[in-house]
């Protein structure tokens, strides 16, 4: 049963392979395979509120600081981290949607951003980007990687990356504002922007401006327009400014930071320099301090038809609000490029009365069977959300 499943300690094989960061070099792995008892944190999945017919289970546990996810063509899940400094390779070899192996693929500084392209894994640190050619052939063996660039700003404050390849085969890389509120674009025009480039790092350009800290973006499956989340500034109180969901309709648009927040809040320090009317308004004002991260459109076939094309947003949750908010998955209905509805899809990671969190969702990934993975850097786990009208998703 689920309850006993969640309470039992799980043991997985963890293969630890540490590598140095030398460019274009192959190195011998001294990998050792160990059985370790995984994190016994109570993930409290039975306390989550799910829509009727859905269930959520553990896909992988003991993935310390699990954040950005990318799936290899042969089914290896790659996971980046922020402060844990690990890149993981997670394998489900028997196809039961539960990980058999959790492998520390590489250890590097702040490898939050990862993306897959034609079998190659890209990993972004604050100031550099690495490519691991044919990565699934390398897992558990010799590791080879190539440096794409090492000249981006290195500030840690909002310096961790979310990266993704767009429908134009360009790699999109954000550079957050290196502060809560500041304007340092005269120092480096890439601050508070999203850039794009060719896969080899060439032909770089700033794609969107005025973005405080985006840690999630995707493209509409039909229009191919970019949609991205942005985390609003702190220290203006519990209820302002709103975090944002934005839509890019053409390159070079400015979304307001640091002058205007959420399309409506004039910044007390910079707001007199430019009015809110100068900037692109958010497609949706999200709650203040909810910390929206990943956004993904549902393109699978497992969920009921009414969920197809909906956008899902992982709200990581507040850190300095007097009463916590977020810690949930939101669902957004978009028609003809406009948001027409926004509602809670999953909540319960936050105990409202006790103000204690059991999880903080970060990234979302739709699997080939139509189920959805959710990473949780607080519970150190990855979950699989499924709809129970299929054999694989039947209740335990």
Q: Which string of DSSP letters, residue by residue, matches 132-190? A: ETTHHHHTTS-EE-EEEE--S---STTT----EE-TTSPEEEEE--SSSS---TTT-TT
Spatial distance between the Cα atoms of 66 and 383, rounded to a whole number of angstroms: 11
What's the pLDDT score for residue 13?
32
* SS3 state of residue 299: coil
From residue 291, alpha-carbon distances to 134, 140, 185, 214 in Å are: 34, 35, 23, 10
Contacts of 137 (CB under 8 A, 6+ apart): none
Q: What is the CATH number of domain 44-71+110-134+146-387?
A: 2.120.10.30
CB 79 within 8 A of CB 61: no
Whole-number Å distance between alpha carbons of 139 and 342: 40
Element (H, E) at 11: strand 11-16
Q: Which residues pair with 146 in a beta bridge?
A: 131
- CA end-to-end span of the chain: 5
Residue 44, pLDDT score: 79
What are the strands, taking DSSP E only, across 72-139? 77-79, 86-91, 101-107, 113-117, 120-124, 129-132
Q: If residue 381 lies in a helix (H) or strand (E), which one and from where to where? A: strand 381-387
Per-residue pLDDT of the chain (396 residues; tens, 9 = 90+): 333 333 333 333 333 332 333 333 334 343 323 333 344 445 779 899 999 999 999 999 999 999 999 999 999 999 999 999 999 999 999 999 999 999 999 999 999 999 999 999 999 999 999 999 999 999 988 899 999 999 999 999 999 999 999 999 999 999 999 999 999 999 999 999 999 999 999 999 999 999 999 999 999 999 999 999 999 999 999 999 999 999 999 999 999 999 999 999 999 999 999 999 999 999 999 999 999 999 999 999 999 999 999 999 999 999 999 999 999 999 999 999 999 999 999 999 999 999 999 999 999 999 999 999 999 999 999 999 999 864 443 333
Could you give phi then psi for residue 276, rounded to 5 degrees?
A: -60, -25
Output the pLDDT for position 193. Answer: 98
The reply to whether the predicted model has a pTM over 0.75 is yes
Cα-Cα-Cα-Cα torsion 346, 351, 355, 361, nearest 10 degrees, comes to -30
15 φ, ψ to 5°? -100, 120
């Amino acid at each position: 049963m689920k309850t006993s499943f969640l309470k039992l300690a799980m043991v997985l094989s963890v293969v630890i392979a540490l590598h140095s960061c030398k460019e274009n070099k192959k190195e011998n792995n001294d990998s050792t395979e160990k059985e370790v008892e995984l994190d016994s944190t109570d993930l409290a999945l039975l306390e989550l509120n799910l829509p009727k017919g859905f269930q959520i289970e553990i896909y992988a546990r003991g993935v310390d600081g699990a954040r950005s996810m990318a799936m290899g063509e042969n089914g290896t899940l790659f996971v980046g981290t922020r402060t844990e400094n690990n890149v993981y390779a997670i394998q489900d070899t028997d196809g039961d949607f539960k990980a058999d192996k959790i492998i520390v693929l590489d250890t590097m500084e702040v490898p939050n951003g990862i993306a897959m392209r034609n079998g190659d894994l890209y990993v972004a640190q604050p100031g550099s980007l690495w490519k691991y050619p044919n990565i699934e052939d390398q897992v558990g063996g010799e590791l080879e990687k190539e440096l794409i660039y090492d000249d981006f700003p290195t500030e840690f404050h909002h310096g961790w990356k979310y990266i993704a390849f767009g429908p134009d085969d360009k790699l999109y890389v954000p550079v957050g504002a290196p502060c809560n509120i500041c304007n340092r674009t005269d120092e480096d025009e890439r601050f508070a922007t999203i850039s794009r480039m060719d896969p080899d790092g060439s032909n770089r350009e700033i794609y969107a401006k005025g973005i405080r800290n985006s840690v999630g973006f995707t493209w509409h499956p039909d229009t191919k327009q970019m949609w991205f989340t942005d985390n609003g500034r702190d220290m203006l109180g519990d209820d302002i400014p709103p975090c944002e969901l934005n839509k890019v309709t053409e390159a070079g648009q400015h979304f307001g930071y640091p002058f205007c927040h959420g399309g409506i809040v004039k910044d007390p320090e910079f707001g007199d320099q430019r009015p809110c009317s100068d900037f692109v308004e958010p497609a949706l004002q999200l709650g203040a301090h909810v910390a929206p991260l990943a956004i993904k459109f549902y393109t699978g076939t497992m969920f009921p038809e009414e969920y197809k094309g909906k956008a899902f947003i992982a709200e990581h949750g507040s850190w300095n609000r007097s009463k916590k908010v977020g810690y949930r998955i939101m669902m957004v209905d978009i028609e003809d490029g406009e948001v027409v509805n926004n509602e809670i899809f999953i909540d319960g990671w936050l105990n409202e009365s006790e103000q204690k969190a059991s999880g903080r969702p970060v990234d979302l990934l739709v699997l080939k069977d139509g189920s959805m993975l959710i990473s949780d850097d607080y519970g150190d786990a990855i979950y699989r959300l499924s709809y129970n009208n299929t054999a694989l998703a039947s209740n335990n």
